[in-house]
Amino acid sequence: MEASVANVSVRSPIRARRIRFSYPVAMSRHFVDGDLIMSHAIAMLSAVFPEGEDFFVRSVRHYRADITDAALQIEVAGFIGQEVTHGREHREVNAKLQQMGYPTRIRERVTKRILSVIYRVAPQRVSLALTAALEHYTATLAALLLTDPKARELITSDEIRKLLLWHAYEEVEHKSVAFDVYRHIGGSERLRIWTMRATHAAFLGSLCLATLVSMLGDRTTYNPVRLARSVSALRRNPWFTRGLIHELGTYHRRGFHPDHNQTAHLLEAWGSELFGDNGLLAENMQSSKIDRAVRAPR
């Protein structure tokens, strides 16, 4: 039986923005404020996105024909367009990070194999529940980046900071879509909550392990002063707070919906800041137009 979903007609339209990022030939190896651990953690998080976004798209697209709500159909189209673009841009930055010495390529391959097995072996509803759970993760991290200046200041590479801000904005923008599709096709609260509990262990465990493996290939890791300084900095890191843990935990409540965590003000505040004529991403969007013009057949 079809479950009720949120009134999507009151939300802002979701559209895929054409954008391109270009990374300098020389970049600081530790691009997160010179911090050893956080640079490897962000690199390994980025390495998950291309295959993760592809998994999200397949999981939602599988149920596209079952969606009878016209407004939700439109949101699904915007969601798919945004996620495809996210995957493309993260593949490019991952290639740059690979050149800098981060093992992003093998992380992508491992992620692809794991998600392919889940999609092929588990019921399709489990894949959609996992997508909704991981979308809550990305939206929560995205909201933190858009809210906390200290979190933004840690990303000292201008182009990577712009990439993450763009990605964060669109994650907040479409944060409810996979969840609403899951509700629409009758997904249960029990499966939704238990999937998130498993996601906590798998996602955080794999990220910590990948970060450690990545660090082992970095000579700076074996500098006791740099390593101790990085470990000490974690206590003041805005990405490790009780507020973030609480926000992630709201997903466990029965009757929860992503729109219960208010983020509309972030979209309003950052819309023109990022995408206006003089916004932070104006040049990147213009570069995308030029790129399309160059590639267009004559």
pTM of the model: 0.91
Q: Is the pLDDT at 126 greater than 50, yes or no?
A: yes
Name the residue with tokens 């900095």.
Answer: 233
Q: What is the pLDDT of residues 264-286, one digit of tens each?
A: 999 999 999 999 989 999 999 87
* pLDDT number for residue 287: 74
What band does 10 get if pLDDT is binned at 50, 70 and 90?
Answer: low
Q: What are phi and psi of 111, to 5 degrees?
A: -60, -45
Q: Is the pLDDT at 7 greater than 90, yes or no?
A: no
How is the chain split into domains, by residue range? 28-257
Distance of alpha carbon 37 from alpha carbon 159, whole angstroms: 20
Write the DSSP assignment of 14-67 as a string of letters.
--PPP------SS--SSTBTT-HHHHHHHHHHHHHHHHHHHHHHHHHHTTGGG-
* pLDDT number for residue 298: 45
* pLDDT number for residue 26: 83
Q: What is the pLDDT of residues 177-187, one digit of tens each?
A: 999 999 999 99
